[in-house]
Amino acid sequence: MASAANACSPSFSAANSSVSKPKALSDFYLRFRNINALSLRSKRVGLPVLSFSRIRSPRISASSPQVMDQSVGEASSKAPTIVEVDLGNRSYPIYIGSGLLDQPELLQRHVHGKRVLVVTNNTVAPLYLDKVVDALTRGNPNVSVDSVILPDGEKYKNMETLMKVFDKAIESRLDRRCTFVALGGGVIGDMCGFAAAAFLRGVNFIQIPTTVMAQVDSSVGGKTGINHPLGKNLIGAFYQPQCVLIDTDTLNTLPDRELASGLAEVIKYGLIRDAGFFEWQEKNMPKLMARDPSAMAYAIKRSCENKAEVVSLDEKESGLRATLNLGHTFGHAIETGFGYGQWLHGEAVAAGTVMAVDMSYRLGWIDDSIVKRVHNILEQAKLPTAPPETMTVEMFKSVMAVDKKVADGLLRLILLKGPLGNCVFTGDYDRKALDDTLCAFCKS
């Protein structure tokens, strides 16, 4: 994901005409009606279904307007809202709030040792690098900060770019007690985190996410890594940061398209485990699109709470955590097949979510009201609801075959099942439903 800077909003409709006029939609609705949902359940193979209904955290507020306003009030004041990621001796706080980069003590309490390497990109550096260096060093003369500025974009999330981080760290003679700071969007967070995991077999790191995507999803939970030409995030590590610092002010410079991309992950939390949050989003999407600070702070906080809870229960993705990848298997195929960086991650996830929802409906696992609500909310967020027209069934299949959720040759998917807010992670589905979904969304 690229990050911040000029507020130009390149439309993805150039790449995919179906976004602005969802003609494909009526197409596949039509096909739905010709399939007997029961017959689809006949061919079952493989691993057991892991079924997940929403687990309501005691910390997660109900979505009534009163409660919402209260938590928003907290999050937009100078005192940060804190969401804890509970992982035993690797637990860490997520700080959320406005103006947090002006509170040096928040960052400094998590820097061990005297040396810091800030990893950022050429879009974010002009905007926030000085501010972060100031936050790290103000009143703290013993700490010295180096920085490495990478090119911006998903297409640079590769080994060649990663090596630039190692080169800088080694040239700067950083040692095991140093701290890496990721300043940027999801690409920077993933690369900096993996570099921190591998440099000298592991050094401390801190996440300062500057995009909605990174703030609500990728900076939390310790998944780090890089892409391989044949697939996304295939090389990496589970590696937890010391803290995540979300200064919501950094969203002021975020392009509209990046904003929408991040909202795809916000919508995901509602669909897989938090119906109340989804309903709140249905009412408040215009506010989120208008960057209303209170609404945005609430969406970030509730997303982080959902993510923190899932990660605490299943750090290494043996089951539950995989549900956070709703739409991602289809989405990764789009990103890889279409070329990294053509679509933003959230755009691909949005189209992938529609495909997963389509397949869930074909399997008879959800009713059509959910299908419609998903389309509506994604359209409100100006996100795509179908893959690029150049994607073929074969492109999907070849990339999905190397997905990390394949086990012993069987592709497991996250699919919705039951009332809104419930999903399953399973390889136990009729292959025909998958084929039909792919055919419905691809011209060839």
Residues that bind a second copy (CB under 8 A): 113-115, 159, 163, 166-167, 170-171, 173, 175-177, 194, 197-202, 223-225, 228, 230-231, 233-238, 316, 401-402, 404-409
> CB of residue 223 vs a second copy: minimum separation in angstroms?
7
When the beta carbons of 289 and 402 are compared against a second copy, the nearer one is: 402
CA dist 346 and 334 (Å) reads 11
176, amino acid identity: R
Distances, alpha carbon 1 to alpha carbons 26, 209, 260, 332, 347, in Å: 31, 11, 12, 13, 10
Query: Could you give the angle at the alpha carbon of 339 between the alpha carbons of 337 and 343, nearest 5°?
Result: 105
- Residue 233 corresponds to which tokens in the numbers above? 């995030």
> CB of residue 151 vs a second copy: minimum separation in angstroms?
19
When the beta carbons of 240 and 261 are compared against a second copy, the nearer one is: 240
Dihedral over alpha carbons 240, 241, 244, 250 (to 10 degrees)? -110
DSSP 8-state secondary structure symbol assigned to residue 151: P
> CB of residue 422 vs a second copy: minimum separation in angstroms?
25
> CB of residue 221 vs a second copy: minimum separation in angstroms?
12
When the beta carbons of 313 and 407 are compared against a second copy, the nearer one is: 407
- Residue 345 corresponds to which tokens in the numbers above? 């991650």
**Going edge to edge, which strands form the sheet with 144-150?**
81-85, 92-97, 243-247, 204-209, 179-184, 115-121, 144-150
Q: Which of 108, 54, 91 is nearest to 302 (CA)?
A: 54
Buried b / exposed e over 322-361, threshold 16 CB at 10 Å, is: bbbbbbbbbbbbbbbbbebbbbbbbbbbbbbbbbbbbbbb
When the beta carbons of 45 and 159 are compared against a second copy, the nearer one is: 159
CA dist 149 and 125 (Å) reads 7
Residues that are catalytic? 201, 223, 265, 307, 317, 321, 325, 328, 332, 345
From the number of C-beta atoms within 10 Å of its C-beta (0-12, 13-18, 19+), residue 251 rates as buried
> CB of residue 92 vs a second copy: minimum separation in angstroms?
18
> Biggest alpha carbon distance in the chain?
71
> CB of residue 83 vs a second copy: minimum separation in angstroms?
23
